[in-house]
Chain A
Amino acid sequence: MSDRSQLISTGTPFQFDKERDAEFERLVKRYPTRESMILPALWLTQEQEGWISQEAMAYIADRIGTYASKVYEAATFYTMYHLHPMGKNHICVCRTLSCWLRGKQEIVDYLKDEIGIKPGQISDDGKFSLEEVECLGHCGTAPVVQVNGEFHENMDVDKLKSLLATLK
């Protein structure tokens, strides 16, 4: 697993945009404690910015009224929170059992060659980031690749080629 202990500062203050602000206010009423908003607030931040900065964590702690360490604890524990900017197209390849049995390695190898990065890296032009992830819950249509949140099932190298061509 990549190092999840380093926070990156943007040097500028963070705040939710109007839409996220409204969603935060809608959700906070649903929980008896404000700390339950830590995970939802981290998601709102990531939706807005693509990743979660040091300033964003401080903002979330402030907004919730809790310690920054509690936000940091959750942000670093849960691996789907990005603690640094990712590629414009974030590609996740499932590496677990059923996808492994049905050829996920060919998919990873092809992507390595084609994009020129290993899992865990971001391409120099910032266009792609690649990650091998644990079971994505699409075992019946393995191997599966998730690009920017969209699932692509029953993948093979040909399908991957056409998929990459559509990514800008």
Chain B
Amino acid sequence: MEVKILSAKFDIKDAHKIKVAKEHGAYSTLDKVFAMKPEDVIELVKNSGLRGRGGAGFPAGVKWGFLPKGTGKPVYLAVNSDESEPATFKDRYILVKDPHSMIEGIIICSYAIGSHDTYIYIRGEYTTQVKALQAAIDEAYKEGYLGDKVAGHDFKLNVTVHRGAGAYVCGEETALLESVEGRKGQPRSKPPFPAVAGLYGCPTIINNVQTIASLPFIIANGADAYKAYGTEKSPGTHLFGISGHVEKPGMYELPLGLPLLEVIDKVAGGVWKGRKLKGIIPGGSSTPVLLPEEAKTVTLDYESMAEHKTMFGSGGIVVLDETVDMVHLVKNLIDFYHHESCGQCTPCREGLGWMLKIIKKILSGDGTMVDVDLLRELCDNIEMKTVCVLSAACTMPVRSYLDKFRHEFVAYVTKNDSSAAEAK
């Protein structure tokens, strides 16, 4: 089931070094790119159907097309390598094993959108990864692929790595921009969208690492070759991270559209220790959980996930076996999002705090049915009432556990509440 497009060089020894990477085709698309008109590059990427791999799945070429023309202002590219959504661990493979495909992608994108300055925003925790990335960028400068004349063409491009320092919210694109500008990562109100007024008030495109690293293949082989993988509306391949209770957790590149359960069984070795499946988180911790019964008809693409009232997200699949206590799991999730709230909006800053207090009360055995229902009500009252979607990233999954595993919450409060015994 696995394919090797993005991960083609992952198994090659020293592919992170420019000499080895070049022997295997790195930077070979540049002459072709510079011979094209920038708008034709955008058109090609549009035709490939490549969608943003950060989680939202917005078509990359369409996003580039939102840049206003002739503003006289510089255009910036920000590469989002914040990768902080729990269960997401795909981009760091690119950063460490094949950084030159991303740098080549940055050159392609920069040429297409007319940008001469790229900032790669990498999460602070990626200590070893940032060193590997910086070393690759230094090599690219030395070899003339970055700097005043990119690969000998009349095109200037600087790439700067900007390290975050432990804030999940900086994966949100406007919080990321705030952070590059030197402030705390508090998301901006939109509109204006970054394409119009982004970094330093200038037109800015923000793309995920994997999106950018997908570009060389598309340029080299054409839109149809990319569309040969995946489904009609979700073309291409994706680096899926499978974690939790499976025999073979890890990162696997797969075409989009494969059946979820088959992937868990055949690629990830199935539920570990011969246990039964209890639930699947399909695309990072913020995506609503799927019951085994629901998962039967799910395929790994944006459309199927939406049909099943969940999300494709970042492709971070978490498998939960029969031993998982869903009330504890929900506490773990709320803890995370509450800790990571930037504090800007009251419903998120205070609301997630209240959710944490309530789930702790339920877990301690002091809760009643009122608490279970209040937790559910809070989800509805917090969601979509904040500047960014961090709060929804907490309430959406929590609501799904409350609805699909309600009996487990009820069981915790039964001894205090006779009405709960009936509700059970």
Digit string of A38-71 for contact with B (CB within 8 Å is 1, else 0)? Answer: 1110110000000000000000000000100010
Contact flag A137-B180 (CB < 8 Å), given A32-B200, A149-B128: no
0/1 interface trace, chain A 69-100, chain B, CB 8 Å (1 if under): 01001100111110000000000000111101
Q: Contact between A74 and B249 (Cβ–Cβ < 8 Å)?
A: no
Residues of A within 8 Å of B128, CB to CB, are 149-151
A123 within 8 A of B: no
**Stretch among B118-126, B212-220, B355-363, B398-406 lining the A interface:** B118-126
Docked-complex contact A77 and B200, CB < 8 angstroms:
no
Q: Which one, B19-27, B237-245, B375-383, B407-415, is touching chain A?
A: B237-245
Total number of B residues with any Cβ neighbor in A under 8 Å = 55
Partner of B243, one of A38, A133, A140, A146: A140
Q: Say whether B87 contacts A98, CB under 8 Å.
A: yes
Check if B367 is an interface residue, CB within 8 A of chain A: no
Decide yes or no: A98 and B86 within 8 Å by CB, A139-B316, A140-B251, A150-B128 being known contacts. yes
Min CB–CB distance B216 → chain A (angstroms): 24
User: Does B87 contact A97, Cβ atoms closer than 8 Å?
Assistant: yes
Q: Answer whether residue A1 sits at the interface, using C-beta atoms and an 8 A cutoff.
A: yes
Given A38-B182, A141-B249; A97-B318 close (CB under 8 Å) = yes
Looking across the interface, which residue of chain B has its beta carbon closest to that of A76? B184
For B100, list chain A residues within 8 Å (CB): none
Contact (Cβ within 8 A) B182 A101: no
Q: Is A118 an interface residue (CB 8 A)?
A: no
Interface flags, B189-227, vs A, CB<8A=1, else 0: 000000000001000000000000000000000000000
* Pairwise interchain contact A139-B162, C-beta atoms closer than 8 A: no
CA distance A42 to B92 in the complex (A): 23
A39 lies within 8 A of B162 (CB): yes
Contact status A78-B184, CB under 8 Å: yes
A156 within 8 Å of B by Cβ?
Answer: no
Q: Are A77 and B241 in contact (CB under 8 A)?
A: no
Min CB–CB distance B317 → chain A (angstroms): 10
Q: Would you list which residues of chain B between 110 and 151 have a CB under 8 Å from chain A?
A: 117, 123-128
Is B302 in the interface zone, CB < 8 Å from A? no
B165 at the interface (CB under 8 A from A): yes
The stretch among B41-49, B55-63, B331-339 that forms the contact with chain A is: B331-339
B324, A139: Cβ atoms closer than 8 Å: no
Partner of A135, one of B160, B244, B336: B336
Are B92 and A137 in contact, with the CB atoms below 8 A? yes
Which of A27, A30, A136, A137 has the most chain B CB within a 10 Å cutoff? A137
Residue of A nearest to B84 (CB): A135
Chain B window 66-90, contacts with chain A (Cβ cutoff 8 Å), 1 for yes, 0 for no: 0000000010000000011111110
Residues of B within 8 A of A133 (CB): 125, 166
Contact B340 A134 (CB under 8 A): yes
Contact of A139 with B127 at beta-carbon distance under 8 Å, contacts A36-B181, A81-B165, A102-B244 already known: no
A142 vs B332: C-alpha distance in the bound complex, in angstroms? 15
Residues of chain A within 8 A (CB-CB) of B340 are 134
Tally of chain A residues near chain B (CB < 8 A) = 44
Partner of A137, one of B89, B185, B244: B89
| Residues B160 and A30 in contact, CB atoms below 8 Å apart | yes
Which listed residue, B83, B166, B324, B336, touches A96 by the CB 8 Å rule? B336
Chain A 8-46, CB within 8 Å of chain B: the 1/0 string?
000000000000000000010011110111111011000
Say yes or no for B179: interface residue by CB 8 A criterion: yes
B324 touches A79 (CB 8 A): no
* Chain A residues with CB under 8 A of B166: 78-81, 133-134
Asked if A137 and B84 make an inter-chain contact with CB atoms under 8 angstroms apart, the answer reads yes
Q: Is the CB of B183 closer than 8 A to any CB of chain A?
A: yes
B185 and A77: CB pair below 8 A? Answer: yes
Cβ-defined contact, A74 with B180, below 8 A: no
Q: Quick check: is B250 within 8 A (CB to CB) of the other chain?
A: yes
> Contact between A134 and B182 (Cβ–Cβ < 8 Å)?
no
In the complex the two chains form, is B181's CB within 8 Å of A33's CB?
yes
State which residues 121-150 of A face B: CB under 8 Å: 133-142, 146, 149-150
Smallest CB separation, B206 vs chain A (Å): 16
Q: Quick one: closest A residue to B184, CB to CB?
A: A77
Q: Contact at B182–A36, with CB atoms within 8 Å?
A: yes
| B16 CB within 8 Å of chain A | no
- Rounded to whole angstroms, the CA-CA distance of A37 and B160 in the bound complex is 12
B168 at interface (Cβ–Cβ under 8 A)?
yes
CA distance A64 to B318 in the complex (A): 44
Known: A74-B183, A80-B124. 19 other contacts (CB 8 A): A36-B162, A36-B180, A39-B163, A39-B165, A43-B124, A43-B165, A70-B183, A73-B184, A77-B167, A78-B165, A78-B166, A78-B167, A79-B165, A98-B86, A102-B243, A135-B87, A137-B89, A139-B86, A141-B250
Q: Give me 26 A-to-B residue pairs in the complex whose CB atoms sit less than 8 angstroms apart, sorted by A's number.
A: A33-B181, A35-B182, A36-B181, A36-B182, A38-B182, A39-B162, A39-B164, A40-B162, A73-B184, A74-B183, A78-B166, A78-B184, A78-B185, A81-B165, A97-B318, A98-B318, A102-B243, A133-B125, A134-B84, A134-B168, A139-B87, A139-B89, A140-B89, A141-B249, A141-B250, A142-B249
- Sorted from nearest, which 5 A-B pairs have the closest CB atoms? A78-B165, A80-B166, A77-B184, A38-B182, A149-B127
